[in-house]
Amino acid sequence: MFAEFLQFLFTGITVGATYALVAMGFSIIYNASHVINFAQGEFVMLGGMGTVYLLAAGLPLPVAIIIAVAMTVVVGMLLEKLAIEPARNASVVTLIIITIGASIFLRGVAQVVMDKEFHAMPAFTGEDPIVIGGAAILPQSLWVIGGGVMMVLALWFFFERMKMGKAMLATAYNPLAARLVGINTKMVLLLSFGLAAFLGSVGGILIAPMSATYYEVGIMLGLKGFCAAILGGLGRGWGAVAGGLIVGIAESMGAGYISSEYKDAIAFILILLVLFFMPSGLFGTRGTERV
Amino acid sequence: MPQKAAERAVPLLSVRGVSTHYGRIQALREVDLEIAEGELVALVGANGAGKTTLLRTISGILAPSAGDIVFDGHSILRAQPDRRVEMGIAQVPEGRQMFGPMSVEDNLVLGAFTRTKTEAEADLAVVLDKFPQLRDKQREPAGTLSGGQQQMLAIGRALMARPRLLLLDEPSMGLAPNLADETFATIRSLKAAGTTVFLVEQNASAALALADRGYVLETGRIVLADTGRALLENEKVQAAYLGL
Ligand SMILES: Nc1ncnc2c1ncn2[C@@H]1O[C@H](COP(=O)(O)OP(=O)(O)OP(=O)(O)O)[C@@H](O)[C@H]1O
Ligand SMILES: [Mg+2]
């Protein structure tokens, strides 16, 4: 009984950590521009697919990972430079539609440059499960959770302690004042896309050994991450983490105790409930300043 | 006479024939004005005259559709707002514009964004000495401060940039009379310390009393320019802005 619960919980936390990384990406870009970047899932896909592709080309895993992440960051920044910045006087809705277009484009390119097959990335450190309290945990699970924790701590340090991080927060709170103190808000927007691409690609790489990766893998992961971001209150860092874990755990419990057929529906039911009853997210307070 | 000094010296800032539009609405019409180093110049005008538009054009938030802005002998039209702060133009915007959830200290330090960490730390101590009330609230979110304290913070944040020219947009707005007086006293002390100030106010009597020179802006056009005292005694100004 308990072992089963523990098993579902671990699975939920693992998947949830990935959703949290994606959700933080949504929030960072939202804060810098009020744009919801629907290409966020494609960053996840590019990380996983890129690594698989580079591994197949004979590169060792750590090198493949670094190159795939760097490549995704470049793609994220190019997306901002080439598609968002030239249209920055357009409405937010237009910009969101541009990101949807970009996501379709990126999927198309991935499909042509790489392929349409499903790929399994080898686990970083073996496949032998570790048994805790009767539940079996794959070593890759620990990589995902550990990697997620590292990312959250790094982001916390960046936003709380570093000048550039504080400048990004300041831009989110008051873009006019940010410009008047000398913050280059265009640079902030570029950086936010780079950071979101970084988080997405790391999430995609960490989870790839546990669930097959292919050119459309970003659609579902992106939507789940979006649900997590909304759940936590779009734009809130800790909210994104909590939202990711909640979606992941709810999904895994739902799949375990009810039926795995409903797994994907659970995130969307959650989001509808939250939007209906708590429009500014689980931790949001109505009408106050956004974090 | 300060006016003479202004005429002789090369102005720190000169706005030459500047027009600014919002879409098809013209908010500034060929505005000309000059500010010499060390001067306190006031700009008075009614609601919607274009005062904020002028300050935002000087800071580079808005781009003029005609004219030139020369700072320290060079046109700054091509410089982005962050570059203009770096050159020494800082603004205390209308409505104070705090980074509300961030601490008072963070707000101040962000004011020195274009400067080095050492410079920021040194000036933080100076500004906190100048505004002891802010020192007591250093770790609290700026959004929790009272209106008067927020105005001090907004001025302190702009001073953290070590401006050569300080632009103030209606600093007395929304403050109780005693707090407004306190704000004007702060501005007087800034001038005494040699800071060049461009003060935009609806409270014309207080601003003109403080100013070396003043301009009157009406529907986007400069209609009067004289010394502060002469404007205070001008019948048109008295009728339109001083309620006399
Ligand atoms: N974003 C905007 N879009 C369109 N018109 C604007 C915009 N901002 C200001 N205006 C118009 O430009 C004119 C000048 O406005 P501005 O805010 O510069 O006046 P102001 O002198 O600062 O007024 P106040 O004393 O109320 O602050 C007004 O007619 C105003 O309606
Ligand atoms: Mg105004």
Give per-residue pLDDT as tens, A138-149: 999 999 999 999
pLDDT band of residue A117 (cuts 50, 70, 90) is confident
Q: How many CB atoms lie within 10 A of CB A91?
A: 9
Are residues B98 and A174, on separate chains, in Cβ contact within 8 Å?
yes
Is pLDDT at A13 greater than 60 in this prediction?
A: yes
Q: What is the mean pLDDT of chain A?
A: 91
Q: Is pLDDT at A290 greater than 80 in this prediction?
A: no
- Given a cut of 70, the residues of chain B with pLDDT beneath it are 1-9, 244
- The CATH fold assigned to A2-277 is ABC transporter involved in vitamin B12 uptake, BtuC (1.10.3470)
**Predicted local confidence at residue A274, as pLDDT:** 80
Residue range A53-79: mean pLDDT, rounded: 96
CB of B238 within 6 A of ligand 1: the answer is no
A179/B82 Cβ within 8 A? yes
Nearest CA-CA partner of A24 in A197, A210, A206? A197
Instruction: Work out the minimum CA distance from A196 to partner chain B, whole angstroms.
Output: 23
* A258 CA to centre of own chain: 27
- Res A1 pLDDT > 80: no
pTM: predicted TM-score of the whole model, two decimal places: 0.89
Q: What is the ipTM of this complex?
A: 0.93
Tokens of A50: 């890129």
In the reported structure, the alpha carbon of residue B50 is separated from the centroid of ligand 1 by a whole-number distance in angstroms of: 6
State the pLDDT at residue A284. 66
Instruction: Compute the distance between CA of residue B231 and CA of residue B224 in angstroms, rounded to an integer.
Output: 8
Residue nearest to atom 17 of ligand 1 (CA): B52
Mean local confidence (pLDDT), A100-107: 95
Q: At what angle do helices A40-56 and A217-231 cross, to 10 degrees?
A: 140
The rounded distance, in Å, linking the Cα atoms of A19 and A245 is 7
Q: How many angstroms away from the CA of A188 is the closest CA of chain B?
A: 12
Tokens of A159: 């936003």
Q: Is the CB of B105 under 6 A from ligand 1?
A: no
Tell how far the Cα of B156 is from the centroid of ligand 2, in angstroms: 20
Contact B97 A167 (CB under 8 A): no
Give the residue, out of B52, B97, B169, with the most ligand 1 atoms within 8 A of its beta carbon, to mutate for a pocket test: B52
Angle, helix A237-253 to helix A2-33, in steps of 10 degrees: 150
Does A279 have pLDDT greater than 80? no
Report chain A residues whose CB lies below 8 A from the CB of B117. 163
Task: Answer whether A180 sits within 8 Å of B81, measured CB to CB.
Answer: yes
Q: For residues B40 and B185, what is the distance between their CA atoms, to the nearest angstrom?
A: 13
Q: What is the pLDDT of residue A287?
A: 40
Q: Domain B38-60+80-241: give its CATH code.
A: 3.40.50.300
Question: Is the pLDDT confidence value at A46 over 90?
Answer: yes
What whole-number distance in Å separates Cα of residue A35 and Cα of residue A192? 11
Tell the residue nearest (CA) to atom 14 of ligand 1.
Answer: B50
Tell me which chain B residues have a C-beta less than 8 angstroms from the C-beta of A179: 59, 61, 81-82
Portion of chain A with pLDDT greater than 90, in percent: 69
pLDDT the model gives residue A150: 96
Return the axis-axis angle of helices A237-253 and A217-231, rounded to nearest 10°. Answer: 120
Please give the average per-residue pLDDT across A212-235, as a whole number. 90
- A178: tokens are 């940010």
Number of helices (H), then strands (E), belonging to chain B: the values are 11, 10
Please name the member of B97, B101, B117 whose beta carbon is closest to the beta carbon of A291: B101
Please classify residue A130 by burial: count the beta carbons closer than 10 Å to its beta carbon, then call 0-12 exposed, 13-18 middle and 19+ buried.
exposed
> CB distance from B98 to chain A under 8 Å?
yes
At residue B244, the pLDDT reads 64
